[in-house]
Amino acid sequence: MSNESTTQEQEQNGDAERTSEQLVELAKRRGYFFQSSGAYGGVGGFYTFGPQGASLKSNVEDAWRDRFALEEGNMEIDAPTIMPEPVFEASGHLEGFDDMLVECSECGESHRADHIVEDNTDFEDAESLPIPEVEEVIAEHELVCPSCGAGLAGEAVEAFNLMFATNIGPGDSQPGYLRPETAQGIFVEFPRLKEYARNTLPFGVTQIGRAYRNEISPRRSIIRTREFTQAELEYFIDPEEDEPDLSAVEDVGVRLYPVTEQNAEDGNEIETTIGDAVAKGVITDPWVAYFLGIAQEWYDSIGVDMDRFRFRQHLSGERAHYASDCWDAESEIDRNWIEIAGFAHRGDYDLSKHAEHSGDRFTIFKQYDEPKTVERATVDPDMSYLGPEFGGDAQAVVEELEALAGRDRSAFDDEPVEIELEGESHEIPVEKTGFAVEEQTEAGEHVVPNVIEPSFGVDRVVYTVLHHAYREDEVAGEERTYLELEPEVAPTFAGVFPLQNDDELEAQADDIASELREAGLSATYDDSGNIGRRYRRQDEVGTPFCVTVDYETIENEETTVTVRERDSTDQKRLPVDGLAETLVALREGNVAFSELEGE
């Protein structure tokens, strides 16, 4: 690389970092988000959304709910954020929900080992590497502690479970955990939720709520935090019968970064459509493809820059063992790609695990068109033999015999039958098992549904929307900063100002603000400072339109006001009569500002 190219890249990286720094400062100044508990020095990984941020976040959630719950005809629930330990034992979170921790022996600070590797080497996905290999990379590249600069070669990299533990109730309380994802709240309630769906597949259940992960080194403001909001859809399907209607999304254009391109030396992202990607096998699962198509259009509608957006397929080392296919939605921030959603075909893993641990039935009864006669292997063990022989383990022996008959009836051809119980082998005479093969007429079968999961990180989506909306320009010789937010998600839709501190102007402006609110528009009244300062203030907040009440408003026969558009700063005089309806039409996209008739 030439010195000129290197310098250019450094300047671009510097500009990107400055944009984020300026955005974080704007967010704090204008009430979008800031570190929590500042009066007590703050605590890493926890952020408060201010008045503007809470409204923006709520609008993003509402937009997600409209598209993924209401339009798709899916249910929504609100499950507790604390759940008992057995839930997470069944889900695998107790054993496998870990990040790689390395602790500096000099300063005592703990860091994500994979992040240190990714930030200082060419490895893009160190999280998928085994721990010994991460330790080797740290030693080979002589990586150092980000806090004090001490070398980390030779320091142990350990697995650190990310769940927050708690106790439920006093005294000998029940151990529990703050949920690390909202999904488990849906899975554990499946036996009841299927009744609400009339025991018919497919059906979907959504949830928007808080999740908690005790991140080793939270960073980059609200991109990686310890408490965050997820919006998740668990879509339950019959794997043998249910197929999505891809006609609704087949022409949606997408940018894909599949595994084949990631592994190629000169690999690049692919510009294609959902239909072509499925036809060519780039996206192998049609359900995943369906939700990628919906998500592409949704992200575009809320203001994500599609030139800085892609779907990346998980590499084999990072894909969960139970997922047949998984893609991440990624946005470009500071010239880096961050995950803002995941789309996975989870198979029957979750429901099967909860069925195994809870003893409840996590299936749907599938009615046959006509009854079928089938052969079933059954056991009816002689408990007068098993009881004295196995004592308290007799019931466990029965369950093992039932499972063996279901999976391998030939095992009962031998004498005796061998089973394994808690790692020990036991022999049981065939005649004591009550083994038989019977013909049974069945009206249907119990099916364990497969799960398709689109999972969205709301906080990261909010940050992406703000970052992609950040603009700087010059108006009338003055520098201006503004947020080019989509009207659908902007926290404040209209600012209403009296031109000067005048009782009559102020009363008229206050009345207009009230009328806009009654029409369902978020409107703010502002009479502080000169009119230019008020415009700049609303520009920084991202308010799409400002309404100014001046002396023409109260003196002329036709009552009109000045309406200013944020992005172009163009102004038009519009009648007060019907103003609310006009602004609603602008918000809904039914008319463009340039199309309005006005002076």
SS3 of 2-29: the string is: CHHHHHHHHHHHHHHHHHHHHHHHHHHH
Report the distance separating Cα 568 and Cα 587, nearest Å.
16
Q: How much is the pLDDT for 16?
A: 54
- Return the CATH superfamily for domain 492-595: Anticodon-binding domain (3.40.50.800)
| pLDDT band at residue 10 under the 50/70/90 scheme | very low
Is the predicted pLDDT of residue 212 greater than 50, yes or no? yes
CB atoms within 10 A of CB 207: 20
Q: What is the rounded CA–CA span in Å between residue 481 and residue 475?
A: 10
Of 329, 270, 334, nearest in space to 299 by CA: 329
**Amino acid, res. 353:** K
d(CA 581, CA 558) in angstroms, rounded, equals 17
Q: What is the pLDDT of residue 254?
A: 98
Neighbours of 460 (CB within 10 A): 23
Question: What are the contacts of 381-388 at 24+ separation with CB within 8 A?
Answer: 381/432, 381/433, 381/434, 382/431, 382/432, 382/433, 382/434, 385/429, 385/432, 386/428, 386/432
Q: Which of 546, 532, 414 is nearest to 475 (CA)?
A: 532
Helix, strand, coil percentages (3-state) for the chain, rounded to 5, are 40, 30, 30
pLDDT attached to residue 7: 41
Average the pLDDT over 504-525 and give the result: 96
Q: What is the pLDDT of residue 81?
A: 97
Q: Where are the beta strands (DSSP E) in 157-224?
A: 157-161, 165-168, 174-178, 203-212
Arithmetic mean of pLDDT, 89-97: 89
Query: Which residue, among 298, 312, 304, has the nearest Cα to 269 in the 3D structure?
Result: 312
pLDDT digits (tens, 9 = 90+) for 237-285: 999 999 999 999 999 999 999 999 999 989 999 999 999 999 999 999 9
- Report CA Rg, the chain: 30
- Which stretches within 205-272 are classed as H helix? 259-263
Average pLDDT, stretch 112-120? 93
Spatial CB neighbours of 63, under 8 Å, sequence gap ≥ 6: 298, 301, 302, 488, 489
Residues 136 and 154: their CA atoms lie apart, in Å, by 9
| Residue 75 parent element (H or E) | strand 75-76
What's the rounded mean pLDDT across residues 465-492? 95
Least confident among 283-287, 415-419, 514-518, 562-566: 415-419
- Enter the tokens of residue 583: 């602004």
Which band of pLDDT confidence, cut at 50, 70 and 90, is reported for residue 11?
A: very low
Q: What is the rounded CA–CA span in Å between residue 150 and residue 152?
A: 6
Indicate the range of 45-49, 184-188, 301-305, 317-321 predicted with least confidence: 317-321
- The more confident residue out of 10 and 598 is 598
End-to-end CA distance of the chain: 55
Strands 494-498 and 545-549: parallel
Letter for the amino acid at 66? Answer: D
> b/e for 78-96, b at 16 or more Cβ within 10 A?
ebebebebbbbebbebeee
The predicted structure's pLDDT at residue 532: 92
* Predicted local confidence at residue 563, as pLDDT: 97
Q: Which tens digit of pLDDT belongs to each residue from 542-577? A: 999 999 999 988 888 788 999 999 999 999 999 999
The token duo for 72 is: 């798709």
pLDDT bracket for residue 2 (50, 70, 90): very low
Q: What are the tens digits of pLDDT across the range 311-363?
A: 999 988 787 777 888 999 999 998 899 999 999 999 999 999 999 999 899 99
Cα–Cα distance measured from residue 33 to residue 550, given in angstroms and rounded to the nearest whole number: 34
Contact at 8 Å (CB) between 482 and 535?
no
3-class SS of residue 438 = strand
DSSP 432: G
12 has a pLDDT exceeding 50: no
Tokens of 96: 């496998």
For the beta carbon of residue 446, count every other beta carbon within 10 angstroms.
Answer: 10
Closest CA to 467 of 304, 585, 592: 304
Model confidence, pTM: 0.85
Give φ, ψ of 380 to 5 degrees. -140, 75
For the cut 50, the answer to whether the pLDDT of residue 107 exceeds it is: yes
Closest CA to 524 of 532, 514, 536: 514
% of the chain residues with pLDDT over 90: 82
Burial (CB count <10 Å: 0-12, 13-18, 19+), residue 404: buried
Question: Which residues on neighbouring strands pair with residue 475, listed in sequence order?
Answer: 478
- Return the bridge partners of 496, or none: 525, 547
Residue with tokens 């080392």: 317
